[in-house]
Amino acid sequence: MAYVLHFDTHMGRTQYDTVIAGSPPGRTYHVCYGDEFLSVTDVWDSMEQFQAFGQTLLPILTELGIDPGPPSPLPAHNVIA
C-alpha cells in the first residue's frame, strides 16, 4: 500500500538543496514547496521503504542540525501516474 508523507521541514532553500537525495527506491513522488520555510510531500510505495531511507537521511540531517519534524503519514487511496 502506498503512503503519503508530509513534512513541515522549517528548512530554507539552501539547506534543502544541500540534502536533496535523488530518487531512493520506493519513493514514487517528491515535491518541495513554500516560500521562506519549505514543506515536503512524498509518496512512498510502502512505509518500510520510507523507514529504510530514513536510516540514511536522518544522520545527514542531524549532522547538519536540521530537524525535519515528524512525518504525517497517511495511506493513499489512489495514485495515478
Owning domain of residue 50 = 3-75
Task: Report the CATH number at residue 51.
Answer: 3.30.70.100
* Cα–Cα distance measured from residue 61 to residue 54, given in angstroms and rounded to the nearest whole number: 10
Report the pLDDT value the prediction gives residue 70, as an integer from 0 to 100.
87
Residue 30 has pLDDT above 80, yes or no: yes
pLDDT digits (tens, 9 = 90+) for 45-78: 999 999 999 999 999 999 988 888 888 899 999 9
Domain contains 81: no
The C-alpha angle 46, 48, 51, rounded to 5 degrees, equals 115
pTM score, whole prediction: 0.89
Residue 11 lies in a domain: yes
For residue 55, which amino acid is it?
A: Q
Residue 12 has what pLDDT?
A: 92
Separation between Cα atoms, residue 30 and residue 49, nearest integer Å = 14
Beta strand pairing call for 72-75 and 3-11: antiparallel
Identify the pLDDT of residue 80.
87
